[in-house]
Amino acid sequence: MSRLRIFDAAAPDAPLFDSRDGDAIARELQAIGVTFERWQAAQPVAAGASQDEVIAAYKADIDRISAERGFKSVDVISIAPDNPKREELRAKFLDEHFHKEDEVRFFVDGSGLFTLHVEGKVYEIECVKDDLIGVPDGVTHWFDMGPEPRFVAIRFFEQPDGWIGHFTGSDIAQKFPRYEPGSR
Ligand SMILES: [Fe+2]
């Protein structure tokens, strides 16, 4: 289930806020300029669906958010627990970074943990099936897909290289919980 926890950046052991309520999550994130929505497929998406079938199932929402935010393209990323590159893929965005365009992801299936560092607070968001998250450009964050990653997500792009991570060199991500889906 989707979950938001908010911490003081200096106190990773004591969440100030903890909710699994979609409306409450959206409200707290909206206050820092982060979009959180829950979408419904227009038609069922079968396991093993092609990229085109996944995109077709969410076309109305994809078109809406692309028009609102200026996205030019989308793709579908799918990572399974037996992916031979899972450790390498997981490690890629585990440290604090930002991008020069919005990072917008819609979880068609599975889950992942986005953690944002904004003005002395840390916002830890567990995204699951049907969740859309929109992290504005320049917002520092990290992403953990967990040790046995399992998700299918639609990614939105303005520029072909817009998703490149600019790392801050901070070790803050190592002080906060890593993603262990089974324990949550
Ligand atoms: Fe990122």
CB contact at 8 A, 76 and 121: no
CA distances to 8, 55, 109, 138, 144 from 60, rounded to whole Å, are 37, 9, 18, 27, 28
**Is 99 annotated as ligand-binding?**
yes
Separation of first and last alpha carbons in the chain: 9
Determine if residue 141 is labeled as part of a ligand binding site.
Answer: yes
Q: Would you say 37 is a known binding-site residue?
A: no
pLDDT at 183: 64
Tokens at 74, concatenated: 């989308």
| 103 Cα: distance to centroid of ligand 1 (angstroms) | 6
Other C-beta atoms lying within 10 Å of the C-beta of residue 28: 18
To the nearest whole number, what is the mean pLDDT of the chain?
94
pLDDT band, residue 1 (cuts 50/70/90): confident
Cα(142) to centroid(ligand 1), Å: 6
Mean pLDDT, to the nearest integer, of 26-50?
93
pLDDT category of residue 27 using cuts at 50, 70 and 90: very high
At 47, the amino acid letter reads A
> How far is Cα 47 from Cα 53, in angstroms, rounded to an integer?
11
* Inter-residue contact 142 to 107 (CB < 8 Å): no
Structure tokens at 140: 């520092």
Which percentage of the chain shows pLDDT scores above 90? 89
Distance from Cα 57 to the centre of ligand 1, integer Å: 25
Give residue 102 CA to ligand 1 midpoint distance, Å.
Answer: 9
Q: What is the mean pLDDT of residues 1-26?
A: 97
Region 158-174: mean pLDDT is 91
**Helix %, strand %, coil % of the chain (to 5):** 20, 35, 45
Note the pLDDT of residue 32. 98
CA of 155 from ligand 1 middle (Å) equals: 11
CA of 137 to the centre of ligand 1 (A): 9
Residue 141 has pLDDT above 80, yes or no: yes
Nearest to 110 by CA among 131, 91, 93: 131
Binding residue per annotation — 103?
A: yes
Over residues 68-91, the pLDDT tens digits come to 999 999 999 999 999 999 999 999
164 versus 139: the higher-pLDDT residue is 139
